[in-house]
Structure 1
């Protein structure tokens, strides 16, 4: 008869197989222990019986030596009382029984110098034989003496112990299999919850997440990690859609200008017009190539393609060199560029990418801080914070800043706020900075500089093997 589907699935799970293997291994070990215990129990009982027989044999031998034949006969008759555990058989040289409670000389003992185990009937009407142990005793004078003990109680005790041991193993086996089945059912329910969510997501509902049980166990940890992964996938999908929309919006204008420049050059006659048209076309094409190169670099950074290009370098010196290059540019815009950075610290990472990220932050600060105002001096400050666990590169300005609700959005690709669309750019600067930070295990924070914007590039000191 086929098992129900739910039971069959529970028995087919890895949890049940692991439980069954564990129970089998435990039973093998427990069986070995039980065998050793039974052997040890039997050995102890046997040793006790043999020690008792040896002591009694010495006493009887001493009485025989002291009082001769009549004395040993009386001693055997005294010890052969009905109900006593001792077994005796005394015979003369011809084999005639003289005393004892055994009705015959056990054939298993005959010819054996060390004695042995035999079976005997306790009385004439009993059909049940008992197990006994006996040893021959040399008392001289041609007499034959066998001293034994009924060990039926010990045998029964050992048998009962073996039965208890094996019943315990049976109950342990049953309990282990039932526990394994119960564990597999619990695991199956938790996994089925994940499967249901996965099927919903594959059907197109990217907002579904795996519910946590609140037990804070490994299943909750797995569910939390999967939910984080799904959040990341959803963010990437949304980012892809947003990038597609932004590409269509932001690249359509330069492509249209490129076409218009070429068309205007065709309308105008003369070598000078053609040359100017081609120069304008090349400039706009260079801007497009720069945009696509930046987009490609961001994509490669987010994929971790440049993760292996790490080196040890002085962050302070690198940032200071970049700032010195942009001091003339800031002066031309009527801005004051303050660099508050000394030597160090040492950092292991991709030097070229970190320098590019700092370049983007300084360019953005210069470009979007606003126009010179006689009433207020525009300034940009660059600081470096050497914290115990990370390094923070801070670029701050006193321009118009970015509203709180827009700070998360401007880190995405091709996002340009309306007030910044009058300035040339691709909307990829901050997204590249964020990609560099993620590559090094860090983050980018946009904070209020009151007034202006403060951008913090945080790089953990253990980034890329440091």
Structure 2
């Protein structure tokens, strides 16, 4: 009973009932309309046929009297059609015709009016079977009575055929409604139940649940794809929040403990003003380091919470790369290396200029810190090119590279490889690059060259906006700069 109640409350059941009701009413109206109009048309044909017969017999009676009328009716009565004739004398005795039995009142009321009667036809095996007809009765001179009519058998058969068609159609409508309900309940409701089940799984804390996609690209597939994209976004944000919490709990514990230890040592062992000043300066350096970590974490969190396409505009990559290169070229030269750029003129990308500039800065600083070759001078190259309908923006060096097994791990927060722990840093630079790349619909990828490492992200190409803000060529546009 509970299962039946559940089915009757579903949208599929209500839609099926509505479908059956609407089509039943429409079909009934159509069949009744057709039946009534057909019956009216056939009745008019009967009346016209009877009137035509009467007119012909009246002409015969006027020209030849009763004798010719009897001969004409006798001749016509022998034809096995739907026409009916009967001529009686003043005593009611039948003189000629093809009617065996008829209600006497029909002959007594010989007023010429059209009426429906039941009769038995003469000269057939089914003479005891009553049939229906439309007749007119007239009284002639000498007490004679003339009846002319038309059998309604064909009209009644057609009416019965329409009635049977209506009953059959109603049965078909009910079956179609049942089939529709079964289809909707087994297919559509199953998809809805899957969505409900997945929603319950997510509400219980499992954000990895996803809606099934049948692959036929219907409205449920499109809904499932959009919801899955939303769930992936929510899972990413929740995971980012968890990562930030875990990172703060684990990776900041050491510097905070170190900060506390230095303060305790200063309070216990510092001698004089100079000792306290050194302790305060060391503490200040440690707090600056902590603030940089917090600021980096907050910026990554803000980037990951931004919707894709936020504050995007056509950006001249040639100009932007030239500005970053101009800023870092002296630093690279101080390290005994050189900085090269290779960006085609007029190459634009749909991006957030500030974030992409930060990406170039982070990747360049990484190459400057960790991309030194064992032998020879450091070479850092910033380049961009259009490839497979995406703009590939990369920073490469000629150092030792990153082992393939560690290339995914270094993108995580606070991850620093053993060989880089001697260098200053927080381990958050590549995490920020990864977040920016995802915001722009791409990802951060590494590729070991021979020698060196190439770090690249891909952006959506764009056309110049025509405002002139992305232009400003300095005469070196499109050239290889070193």
**Shorter-chain TM-score: which interval?**
0.7 to 0.9
Distance (whole Å) between structure 2 residues aligned to residue 387 and residue 106 of structure 1: 100
Q: 1:121 to 1:350 in 2, by over 3 A?
A: same
Conserved 8 A contact 1:108-1:117: no
**Which segment is superposed worse, 268-277 or 311-320?**
268-277
Alignment partner, residue 309 of structure 1: 311
Alignment partner, residue 28 of structure 1: 25
Conserved 8 A contact 2:119-2:132: no
Conserved 8 A contact 2:306-2:439: yes
Q: TM-score, normalised by structure 2?
A: 0.77
Alignment partner, residue 356 of structure 2: 354
Alignment partner, residue 442 of structure 2: 442
Q: How big is the alpha-carbon RMSD for the aligned residues of Structure 1 and Structure 2?
A: 4.3
* Partner SS state of residue 37, structure 1: helix
Alignment partner, residue 154 of structure 2: 153
Among 114, 117, 120, which residue is 2:118 paired with?
120
Alignment partner, residue 429 of structure 1: 429
Q: 1:391 to 1:155 in 2, by over 3 A?
A: same
The alpha-carbon deviation at position 162 of structure 1 amounts to: 1.2
Alignment partner, residue 476 of structure 2: none
The alpha-carbon deviation at position 43 of structure 1 amounts to: 4.4
Distance (whole Å) between structure 2 residues aligned to residue 228 and residue 354 of structure 1: 24
The alpha-carbon deviation at position 104 of structure 1 amounts to: 5.0
Alignment partner, residue 178 of structure 2: 177
Conserved 8 A contact 1:246-1:415: no
Alignment partner, residue 291 of structure 2: 289
Alignment partner, residue 85 of structure 1: 82
Distance (whole Å) between structure 2 residues aligned to residue 249 and residue 55 of structure 1: 110
Distance (whole Å) between structure 1 residues aligned to residue 108 and residue 8 of structure 2: 54
Q: 1:172 to 1:304 in 2, by over 3 A?
A: same
Cα distance per residue 1:181-220 (max 9 Å; x no partner) = 4541455555555655665665566666667778887667
* Partner SS state of residue 441, structure 1: coil
The alpha-carbon deviation at position 121 of structure 1 amounts to: 2.8
* Partner SS state of residue 444, structure 2: strand
The alpha-carbon deviation at position 275 of structure 1 amounts to: 4.6
Alignment partner, residue 12 of structure 2: 15
The alpha-carbon deviation at position 140 of structure 1 amounts to: 11
* Partner SS state of residue 122, structure 1: strand
Alignment partner, residue 301 of structure 2: 299
Q: 1:84 to 1:31 in 2, by over 3 A?
A: closer
Q: TM-score, normalised by structure 1?
A: 0.79
Distance (whole Å) between structure 1 residues aligned to residue 188 and residue 221 of structure 2: 12
Q: How many residues align?
A: 457
**Which segment is superposed worse, 325-334 or 159-168?**
159-168
Alignment partner, residue 342 of structure 1: 344
Among 66, 71, 75, which residue is 1:74 paired with?
71
* Partner SS state of residue 121, structure 1: strand
Distance (whole Å) between structure 1 residues aligned to residue 204 and residue 72 of structure 2: 98
Conserved 8 A contact 2:401-2:451: yes
Conserved 8 A contact 2:314-2:351: yes
Cα distance per residue 1:46-105 (max 9 Å; x no partner) = 454345445534543443454344323432343345965212355899999876546657
Conserved 8 A contact 2:340-2:380: yes
**1:90-105 alignment runs, 5 A limit:** 100=97, 101=99, 104=104
Conserved 8 A contact 2:237-2:304: no
Cα distance per residue 1:215-240 (max 9 Å; x no partner) = 88766776677667666666665555
The alpha-carbon deviation at position 445 of structure 1 amounts to: 2.0
Distance (whole Å) between structure 1 residues aligned to residue 108 and residue 356 of structure 2: 96
Conserved 8 A contact 2:50-2:148: yes
Q: 1:358 to 1:20 in 2, by over 3 A?
A: farther
Distance (whole Å) between structure 2 residues aligned to residue 445 and residue 136 of structure 1: 105
* Partner SS state of residue 367, structure 2: helix
The alpha-carbon deviation at position 393 of structure 1 amounts to: 0.9
Gaps of 5+ in 1: none
**1:365-444 alignment runs, 5 A limit:** 365-370=367-372, 373=374, 375-387=375-387, 389-444=389-444
Distance (whole Å) between structure 2 residues aligned to residue 428 and residue 90 of structure 1: 118
Alignment partner, residue 49 of structure 1: 46
Conserved 8 A contact 1:365-1:397: yes
Cα distance per residue 1:336-383 (max 9 Å; x no partner) = 21100133333443222222222222222222213x64x322211111
* Partner SS state of residue 443, structure 1: coil
Distance (whole Å) between structure 2 residues aligned to residue 445 and residue 345 of structure 1: 21
Conserved 8 A contact 2:350-2:459: no
Q: 1:212 to 1:64 in 2, by over 3 A?
A: same
**Which segment is superposed worse, 8-17 or 47-56?**
47-56
Q: 1:139 to 1:22 in 2, by over 3 A?
A: same
The alpha-carbon deviation at position 414 of structure 1 amounts to: 2.7
The alpha-carbon deviation at position 401 of structure 1 amounts to: 1.7
Distance (whole Å) between structure 2 residues aligned to residue 186 and residue 350 of structure 1: 44
Q: 1:107 to 1:29 in 2, by over 3 A?
A: farther
